[in-house]
Amino acid sequence: MEFIESNRVHLIQRMGMITVKQIADDLLACNVMSYEEVNTIACEKVEQEASRMMIYMILNKGSEACNILVKSLEKHNPFLFHDLQGYCKYYWLYFCLLVRNYISVEKYMKNLQWTNFYDSLIILYLAKL
């Protein structure tokens, strides 16, 4: 429950509709959500609204439902899950080493297979300093 509450804003903004539908299917399979609830979420046209609806539904169902959602998020979107857990901090260490060794930020960005939006903004900001 704590993971969802502390990352609610990021989950709403970053989950995406595919992940939301996959998680909703898992929650339906575990009898956490009804078919009607899943259908309501799946029919939502704006992905942030679908994410918001699902998160608040699950928060109201208690900690066991929240744990199932978190496990499903880890299964279907491990990059987002680990980013929110803080496992991507080693990228910052790598970045600091690059700056210290005067390697270009562009080269760093090309070597990354993925990065989140906020990391990109901070990297670009630091590159201008």
Predicted TM-score of the model (pTM): 0.67
Closest CA to 123 of 99, 102, 101: 99
Task: Say what the pLDDT of residue 95 is.
Answer: 58
Task: Say what the pLDDT of residue 97 is.
Answer: 55
**Residues 6 or more apart in contact with residue 22 via CB below 8 angstroms:** 72, 76
Domain chopping of the chain, boundaries: 2-85, 88-128
**Span 48-107, pLDDT tens digits:** 999 999 999 999 999 999 999 999 999 999 888 988 887 545 555 555 555 555 555 555
Please give the share of the chain, as a percent, with pLDDT higher than 90: 56
Q: What is the mean pLDDT of the chain?
A: 80
Confidence of residue 41 (pLDDT cuts 50, 70, 90): very high
Per DSSP (E only), the strands in 35-84 are none
HSE at residue 29, side-chain half, CA atoms within 13 A, is 9
- Could you tell me which CATH number the domain at 2-85 has? 1.10.533.10
